[in-house]
Amino acid sequence: MGITRPHFRAALFSLAAVAALLALLVGCGGGGSNAGSTQSSTSSSGSTASGGGPQAVTIKEYTFKPASITVAKGTTVDFTNEDSTAHTATSTESGAFESGAIQPGKTGSITLKKAGTFTYYCAFHPFMKGTIVVE
């Protein structure tokens, strides 16, 4: 007994849906521009205390940890990607900051030059969100 045409179509549709979901979760690379901030990629991370030194955010299990930080104006924030797919740290305010693609095991950095409260997300996984308060 072979597979019928309706069952074949259903199986093909299910396979296509799974492939689309995987493509969405994996994301693909791409950079961005930074107006009002600077970016770089390194392999180190800073501390998590607020102040003038580098600050660290870990990207793990499709979340930014911690989800909210407070830093001084001029602070560099390092985003270390501990997931198996690329992520970004992209401000919801146009031009505020954009880390570019941060590959697995790498760190992307931004320097925040103006005060304010900035929400950000991963351009590849928009459900990932965080906040940086710059004083």
The tokens of 42 are what? 């390194």
Q: How many domains does the chain have?
A: 1
Range of the domain at 24: 5-134
CA distances from 103 to 57, 90, 107, 112, 117 (A): 15, 15, 8, 21, 26
Average pLDDT along the chain = 75
| Residue 79, H or E segment | strand 76-81
Show the tokens assigned to 62: 């499709």
Cβ atoms of residues 100 and 76 within 8 Å: no
CATH at 115:
2.60.40.420
- For a pLDDT cut of 90, what percent of the chain falls above it? 59
Predicted local confidence at residue 48, as pLDDT: 36
| Per-residue pLDDT reduced to its tens digit, 2-38 | 555 555 555 544 444 444 443 444 444 333 333 334 3
**Token representation of residue 44:** 């180190």
Cis peptide before 126 (omega within 30 of 0): no
pLDDT of residue 95: 87
